[in-house]
Each structure stands twice: as structure tokens, then as C-alpha cells.
């Protein structure tokens, strides 16, 4: 659906440009019909994005999120005062006005245990006012607060984390007024691809526990490889096997007199296979519950498992399945679960308090280990595509190389995340800082600052507009390229010592970036009409273009080409129309 909107917008923009050019009497190059070019252009168009209607769709991050995070520079040395000072500086310096809206607390905000109610709590020494009050403070300045946890038993710095605590943690974050959530992958425990062997499935009343229906193996519908195994060891003399790795599933019908919460009981046949087992309960195709079965001691042959599920009024189709065939399946299921809980929690909180819902930008951070670009758009708003960035040329170059081929997976609301910015950190030269920022803007990367933005405020309280890093980060034209509503990540059109990247923009414009990876100045000739032929852009095919050299802030009218002279480790960016 999004794709259609985008195509329509692009088509309207394209025809408008042609019309206005004609009115202005500009020369529009007459096209000769080239069937091969048309087919190529069509083929490319389809590849522009893989985003579909099944996206996460929480209504936020429709352009790449922008903000700041504590991790890159401050690591564990964080506290309430720092976060407040950063929020103040974001506003005072004008960064917030440029779009940098999220102030994100990364790892190390937590106390080392949950509270008496099982909720995550902050370290009371470093955050004496608590996170809710901090969110209120940050909000009062006009910016938003973000927080961090891990899809594991502990965070990367070994604090309590959210795996198997998804609901309570999502509700806690919603109560605190959090609007950005980064979900890491340290201490993850993958879901087993083994499924329990099932003797009977029952549906019971959620309040009284009364069993409303019970299905033994011969009364279940068995799909795929699921099969009945005769067994003298259990009372019913049989159980169902063949459910591992999504090979088969069990389906039972249940007519509910009213919609609501019910209990699903599983009678299982204990077995000696090592490790835990897992089954998912789907109701009418919806993922309703995850049932984990611990590794068993086999003193008795049978065991019981129970979870509550929501049933619809009328006939329900209840399916038991373990779809985990790989580590990537496991990660996708776990990340999607948290995504659903975040949406549920913000809605619940808003309804209970009569307030406007504050959707949470959901940032998946499993470092690109489980192909998150394949499932991330359904799970959340952005997904890390690489391991951690460092403040060095080699680090951001390597990350760029990994992120650039993933363009087709990004679209509004769903972004590849090559990690937070190191602009202004370490020993990056000014040209390297410019290149780093340019690449992230071209790649529709989230722009999450990692430097100490308090340094942009001088002692007398005024903004240090002469600061080169400040100038880079507040270059509104560059930010505009990143935030362009088409939301199309750049493609690499030329690969070499100097790469050429092309990003379609609204109103039939494009941004072209020349990125010099070499250790000497590079000279690259750009012929603009060539880019009009690319299937994924709407640049009109004509002889002369108006060009804006973004970093030099120079406009050049009516040119057909330009020779970009790019310093070592630097980048030049042009907007062409």
C-alpha cells in the first residue's frame, strides 16, 4: 500500500515537473523509444522496495528517526543530570529544530534487579528522580525520551533484560512515556525448534478453570508431518509427534459463546530429548501465545502446560505449531513479539488514562546476524544491519559496505540501521565526518547523534555556530535528503575507489553523492542525463539540469555534467533537478 502511495506521489511529481518545464519554455530532450530501456526501467521499479502492507505500521518513523544516544560516547557513565543537560542542549543548540527529537538512554540505566512487582527499575543513585519524571522533563523541553533493553536474559552490560518479560516491560515503558525503544540481542536464548509431544489439547474457562472442550490425538486435525504415535506409557495410549521445526501442526476447533480470555491446556508426553521445547498457539491465524516447555525429569510419563489466549466469539480455529527452523526464525519471532507488546502497551495506557497514544519507535538491534532486513519491516521500525560502529574511518567504511546493498528493504516506517553516528567523535577528520554524515543521509539511516552536544553551547549560553561538527550535523539540505518523504535508500551506481550513489527525492529530484575511499583526491565526472534513465528515479530526461552542491552550498544552473573533485576520505553531494 505504501508503495502505491509513493508511486502515485512520484508520478504526480514527475508529470508536474514536465508540465512546468514546458510552461517555462525549457528545452526537454525528445526521447527516442528504446524497448530494452523501458523493460529495464520497469524491472528496476519493482525492486525499489520490498515493503508491503504487512509492515509494522505504528504510524511513527515515517522518515528515518533523528536524535541522540548515550552509548557511543558516554557508555556506562550516564545519569539523570547528563540526560537533562543533553535534552537542554539539543533544544538550545537548534538541533531539535533540525529534527533531532529523541534523547535515547542506552544500556546501564537499570538497577541490577527487578523491583518487588517484577518491573524493571532504574539505578536509584544515578537516576534518583526515576525515568517517568525524566521523560516528563525531556518532554517539557519539546523532545522525546528513548530507552534500551535486550532481547535476552540480560543486557550487553549484564543488567536485567526483557526476554520472556515482554509484556510487563512494554507496559512499564508506556507508563513512563517512553517514545523510542532500542532492543539489543545480548544474552539471547534462542527458541527451541523442538515441539512437545501432545497427548491432548483442552480449552478451559479463564476464571473457573472448568474444561470446556478436550481433544485427544484422534480428535485433532493433523497437518503436514504431524502423526499419531501409539504409546502404552500414557493414559490415552497415544500422542501426536512430528511438530518440530514447523514440519506439522495440530488444529482444533472451538466455539466460544463470547469473546475473551480462555485457557489452553496441553497434556504432553515427556520425552528424553535434551533441552526445552516450544509451541506457538495461533487463533484464527493470529499469534496468541508462546508455550515453553522446560527440559523434563521423567519421573512420570505425562506433563501439563497452560497459557491464556484470546478467543473470538463464535467458531475459532486453534493451531499448535512450532515454526522455528533456524536461529533467524527464532529471532524474528522474539522481536515481533516485543513489537506487538509495545503497540498493545501504548494503546492500553492511552485508553486507561484518556490520553493521546504515544507510539514507541521500535529499534531492533541484533547486529544483522539473523537477516533482519527480511523480517524487520513486519517486526519494527528499524533494524541494525551490522555490528557496532566505532569512531574510526575503517569502522564506518566497513559498515557502509554492508549496508549499501540492502537498499530494497528500506521504506517509510522501516529502515536499515547502520548504527548511530560517530560524527564529532574519535579522530575522524573533517572530511571523514562529512563523508560519514553524507553516507548516512544518502542511505536513509536513522540519524542518532553520538557526540557530546553540550559542547555546541558556549559558556555565555550562545550557540557555537562556527563549530565544524555543528555545521555538519545541522546542514539542513543534507538532513532534507535523509528525511525526504519518498524514503528511498540510495543505490550505488558506480563502485570503485570513488563510489557514486544516487537517491531519488520528492518532486522528481535526485541526490548524487561521490564518496572517495581513496587516499588521494578523486576526480569524478557526473553526467546527469544518465541518472534520468535509472528505473528507480523520476528525474526528467533532458539536456540541462540545475544543480545544488550541498556542502559548498552553491547553485549551478543549466549544466549537463560536473566533475566532482573529492578530497581523500571525503564526499560531495549534489541535488539535481
Site for ligand GLA contains 391 (CB under 6 A): no
CB of 72 to ligand GLA, least distance (A): 8
217, 267 Cβ separation under 8 angstroms: no
Cell of 105: 538512554
365 near ligand GLA (CB under 6 A): yes
Q: Where are the beta strands (DSSP E) in 346-422?
A: 361-364, 382-384, 415-417
Distance of alpha carbon 271 from alpha carbon 231, whole angstroms: 12
Q: Whose Cβ is closer to ligand GLA: residue 49's or residue 70's?
A: 70
Backbone region of residue 275 per phi and psi (left: phi > 0; alpha: psi in -120 to 50; beta: other values): left
Question: For residues 86-145, which are near ligand GLA according to CB under 6 A?
Answer: 106-107
- What is residue 229's three-state secondary structure? strand
**Chosen residue from 61, 156, 318, 379 binding ligand GLA by CB under 6 A:** 156
Q: Which stretch binds ligand GLA (CB under 6 A): 151-159, 239-247, 293-301, 325-333?
A: 151-159
State the nearest-atom distance from the C-beta of 443 to ligand GLA, in Å: 17
Q: How far is the CB of 338 from ligand GLA (least distance, A)?
A: 16
Stretch that binds ligand GLA, among 59-67, 126-134, 152-160, 284-292 (CB under 6 A): 152-160
**Using N-to-C axis directions, what is the helix angle for 327-353 and 372-379, rounded to 10°?**
20
Least separation in angstroms between CB 143 and ligand GLA = 20
388 binds ligand GLA (CB under 6 A): yes
Identified binder of ligand GLA from the candidate list 56, 71, 181, 531, rule CB under 6 A? 71
CA distance 87 to 94: 11
Examine residue 396 and tell whether it contacts ligand GLA (CB under 6 A).
no
Closer CB to ligand GLA, residue 49 or residue 334? 334
**Beta carbons within 10 angstroms of residue 217's beta carbon:** 26
Relative orientation angle of helices 131-140 and 80-92, to the nearest 10 degrees: 10
Give whichever of 159 and 515 is closer to ligand GLA, judged by the CB atom: 159
Taking phi first (over 0 means left), then psi (-120 to 50 degrees means alpha), and beta for anything else, what does residue 51 get? beta
Closest CA to 538 of 574, 560, 576, 509: 509
Least Cβ distance, residue 106 to ligand GLA (angstroms): 5
Is the Cβ of residue 161 or residue 573 nearer to ligand GLA in the bound state?
161
Task: Provide the minimum distance between the beta carbon of 156 and ligand GLA in the complex, in angstroms, as a whole number.
Answer: 3
Q: Which of residues 158-197 bind ligand GLA (CB under 6 A)?
A: 184
114 with 123: CB under 8 angstroms? no
CA angle 97–102–105, rounded 5-degree value:
145
Rounded least distance, CB 107 to ligand GLA, Å: 3
Choose the binding region for ligand GLA from 153-161, 276-284, 299-307, 521-529 (rule: CB under 6 A).
Answer: 153-161
- All three cell numbers of 229: 504415535
The DSSP symbol for 250 reads: E
Rama region for 34: left / alpha / beta (φ>0; ψ in -120 to 50; rest): beta
Among 157, 464, 506, 541, binds ligand GLA (CB under 6 A): 157
Beta strand residue intervals within 120-220, DSSP E: 144-150, 180-184, 197-205, 211-216
Decide: is 379 part of the binding site for ligand GLA (CB under 6 A): no
Residue nearest to ligand GLA (CB): 156
Segment near ligand GLA (CB under 6 A), from 120-128, 150-158, 233-241, 246-254?
Answer: 150-158
Binding site for ligand GLA (CB under 6 A): 71, 106-107, 155-157, 184, 365, 367, 388
Amino acid at each position: 500500500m505504501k508503495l502505491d502511495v509513493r508511486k502515485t506521489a512520484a508520478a504526480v511529481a514527475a508529470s508536474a515537473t514536465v508540465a512546468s518545464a514546458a510552461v517555462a519554455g525549457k528545452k526537454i530532450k525528445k526521447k527516442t523509444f528504446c524497448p530494452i530501456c523501458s523493460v529495464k526501467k520497469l524491472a528496476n521499479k519493482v525492486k525499489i522496495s520490498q515493503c508491503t502492507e504487512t509492515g509494522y505500521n505504528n504510524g511513527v518513523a515515517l522518515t528515518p528517526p533523528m536524535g541522540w544516544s548515550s552509548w557511543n560516547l558516554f557508555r556506562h557513565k550516564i545519569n539523570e543530570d547528563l540526560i537533562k543537560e543533553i535534552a537542554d542542549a539539543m533544544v538550545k543548540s537548534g538541533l531539535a529544530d533540525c529534527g533531532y527529537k529523541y534523547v535515547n538512554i542506552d544500556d546501564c540505566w537499570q538497577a541490577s534487579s527487578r523491583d518487588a512487582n517484577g518491573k524493571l527499575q532504574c539505578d536509584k543513585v544515578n537516576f534518583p528522580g526515576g525515568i517517568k519524571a525524566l521523560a516528563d522533563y525531556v518532554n517539557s523541553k519539546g523532545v522525546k525520551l528513548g530507552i534500551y533493553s535486550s532481547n535476552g536474559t540480560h543486557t550487553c552490560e549484564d543488567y536485567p533484560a526483557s526476554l520472556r518479560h515482554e509484556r510487563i516491560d512494554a507496559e512499564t515503558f508506556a507508563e513512563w512515556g517512553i517514545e523510542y525503544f532500542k532492543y539489543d540481542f545480548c544474552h539471547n536464548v534462542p527458541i527451541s525448534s523442538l515441539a512437545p509431544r501432545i497427548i491432548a489439547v483442552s480449552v478451559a474457562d479463564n476464571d473457573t478453570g472448568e474444561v470446556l472442550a478436550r481433544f485427544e490425538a484422534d480428535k485433532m486435525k493433523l497437518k503436514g508431518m504431524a502423526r499419531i504415535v501409539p504409546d502404552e506409557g500414557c493414559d490415552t495410549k497415544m500422542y501426536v509427534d512430528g511438530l518440530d521445526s514447523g514440519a506439522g501442526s495440530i488444529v482444533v476447533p472451538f466455539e466460544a459463546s463470547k469473546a475473551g480470555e480462555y485457557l489452553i491446556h496441553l497434556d504432553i508426553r515427556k520425552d528424553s530429548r535434551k533441552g526445552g521445547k516450544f509451541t506457538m498457539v495461533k487463533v484464527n491465524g493470529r499469534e496468541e501465545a508462546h508455550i515453553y516447555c522446560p527440559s523434563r525429569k521423567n519421573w512420570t510419563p505425562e506433563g501439563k502446560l497452560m497459557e491464556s489466549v484470546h478467543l473470538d466469539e463464535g467458531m475459532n480455529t486453534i493451531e499448535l505449531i512450532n515454526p522455528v527452523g533456524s536461529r533467524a526464525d527464532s529471532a524474528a519471532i522474539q522481536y515481533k513479539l516485543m513489537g506487538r507488546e509495545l503497540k498493545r502497551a501504548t494503546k492500553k495506557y492511552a485508553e486507561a488514562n484518556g490520553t493521546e497514544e504515544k507510539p514507541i519507535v521500535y529499534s531492533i538491534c541484533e547486529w544483522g546476524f539473523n537477516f533482519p532486513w527480511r523480517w524487520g519491516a513486519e517486526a519494527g521500525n528499524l533494524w541494525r544491519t551490522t555490528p557496532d560502529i566505532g569512531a574510526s574511518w575503517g569502522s564506518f567504511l566497513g559498515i557502509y559496505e554492508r549496508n549499501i546493498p540492502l537498499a530494497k528493504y528500506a521504506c517509510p516506517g522501516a529502515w536499515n540501521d547502520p548504527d548511530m553516528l560517530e560524527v564529532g567523535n574519535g579522530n575522524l577528520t573533517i572530511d571523514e565526518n562529512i563523508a560519514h554524515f553524507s553516507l548516512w543521509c544518502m542511505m536513509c539511516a536513522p540519524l542518532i547523534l553520538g557526540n557530546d552536544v553540550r559542547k555546541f553551547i558556549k559558556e555565555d549560553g550562545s550557540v557555537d555556530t562556527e563549530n565544524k561538527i555543528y555545521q555538519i550535523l545541522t546542514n539542513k539540505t543534507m538532513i532534507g535528503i535523509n528525511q525526504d518523504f519518498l524514503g528511498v535508500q540510495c543505490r550505488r551506481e558506480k563502485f570503485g575507489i570513488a563510489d557514486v550513489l544516487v537517491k531519488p527525492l520528492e518532486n522528481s529530484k535526485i541526490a548524487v553523492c561521490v564518496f572517495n575511499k581513496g587516499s588521494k583526491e578523486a576526480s569524478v565526472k557526473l553526467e546527469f542525463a544518465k541518472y534520468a534513465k535509472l528505473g528507480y528515479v523520476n528525474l526528467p530526461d533532458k539536456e540541462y539540469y540545475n544543480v545544488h552542491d550541498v556542502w559548498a552550498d552553491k547553485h549551478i544552473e543549466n549544466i549537463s555534467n560536473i566533475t566532482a573533485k573529492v578530497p581523500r576520505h571525503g564526499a560531495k553531494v549534489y541535488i539535481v533537478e
